[in-house]
Amino acid sequence: MDARPFRAALLAAILFVCCGASYRTANFVVQTADPRLAKQFGDAAEKYRKELAVAWVGKELPNWSAPCPMTVQVGANLGAGGETSFVFDRGEVFGWRMSIQGSAQRVLDSVLPHEITHMIFASHFRQPLPRWADEGGASSVEHQEEKAKHQRMLLTFLRTGRGIAFNQMFAMTEYPRDIMPLYAQGFTVVEYLIQIGGRRTFVDYVGEGLRTNDWSAATDHYYSIANLGDLQKVWLAWVAKGYPAVAPAVASRNGALSAVALASAEKRPRPEPNLIYHNGGKAAVLEAGAGASGPSNGAVVAATHVAPVSAAPATVMPADGWHARGSAGESVATVAAQPEGSPLPERTQVTHPQPLQGPQQTIIDWGGR
Q: Helix, strand, or coil here: 230?
A: helix
The 3-state secondary structure of 81-109, one letter per residue? EEEEEEEEECCEEEEEEEEEEECHHHHHH
| Among 147, 146, 150, 183, CA closest to 164 | 183
| pLDDT, mean of residues 330-342 | 32
For residue 225, pLDDT over 90 is answered with yes
Q: What's the pTM value of the predicted model, to 2 decimals?
A: 0.70
Q: Which pLDDT value is given to residue 90?
A: 86
- Distance CA(313)–CA(162), nearest Å, equals 6
Q: Residues 6 or more apart from 151 whose CB is under 8 A from it? A: 184, 188, 243, 292, 293
For residue 129, pLDDT over 70 is answered with yes
- Sign for the CA dihedral angle at 215, 353, 188, 73 comes to positive
Tallying the residues shown for the chain, one arrives at: 369
Q: Which pLDDT value is given to residue 248?
A: 83
For residue 221, pLDDT over 70 is answered with yes
Query: Please, what is the average pLDDT of the chain?
Result: 73
- Distance CA(354)–CA(351), nearest Å, equals 9
For residue 212, pLDDT over 80 is answered with yes
